[in-house]
A and B are shown apart, each in its own frame.
Chain A
Amino acid sequence: MTLLRLTLAALLLASGSACAVEFNQFQADRSTLQFVSKQMGVAVNGRFRKFAATLAFDPARPTAATARLDLDLASVDAGSADADVEVVGKSWFNVKLYPTATFVSSAIRPLGGDKFELAGTLTIKGRTHDVRAPFTFSQAGGNGVFDGTFVLKRLDFALGDGIWSDVSTVANEVQIKFHIVAAPAAGSK
């Protein structure tokens, strides 16, 4: 029965009916942006405490969705007090010159079911590169929840130059995990 209802709902949504809901109210306190670096082969967790997302996502029309993320690099928690001081410095983020990193979406395509792919450009430390991130969309408590991961190569963005450019101690690959919660647009439903 539930399945039938879901199927009907999906059909209605897919047909672009008037009951579509656009999620565009970013919920900062429910969203997280974490990363996992590998130091000497050991995964170390970090996160950004301050970031803002501007998004518009209608599950019925995913290809029309847009997303933008601005993150305050100085709000980094790199796993230890030592590392927090180090990564905002010149060899890493150089927050004095480049205080924010920005992601701007270029395309979102459905991969079937609740899976989508987000493509866009990521700019950190004045370097811009294309990124692709698969993500899942779900709804919880009336909010839209976007969960995805992707891997970036830190040296593409000159993160950790000089002595840190040796990837045998700190790996080039850094996994980014985003969990973005957005409420539906006011007045929709």
Chain B
Amino acid sequence: MDVSLLLIRPAAPEPIYRQIVGQLRRMIASGQLPPGEPLPSVREVAGVHAINPMTVSRAYSLLEAEGVLERLRGKGMAVAATHRRVQSEDKRMQLIEPHLRELARQARELELSPEPVLRRLGDLLEDEE
């Protein structure tokens, strides 16, 4: 995996370790990172993004505990081989849940009725295909 695929936004309210966890999860869930794919070392991520190495290792440890990543003997981290390539729809929905909630909150604040929002979301989803 290329280190620069990670996008770190220090000023975001979300802690950096959560940003890393979220992005890796999504990349693995989508199959962008196949099982067995080695991950960049903590030092490499910390150096390229000028972030604290402890933050990176915290993210890795969390994903390791979840079984998403596994520690290779002497070779650092890799995407867990046992991990199903594509997760169940439920699991994947869980990953996107916080973003949907935030979207819903903003739509309510703008006093938009659900229909146009859902229609636009549908358009966007189809555009991507």
A binds B: no
A contacts, CB < 8 Å to B:
none
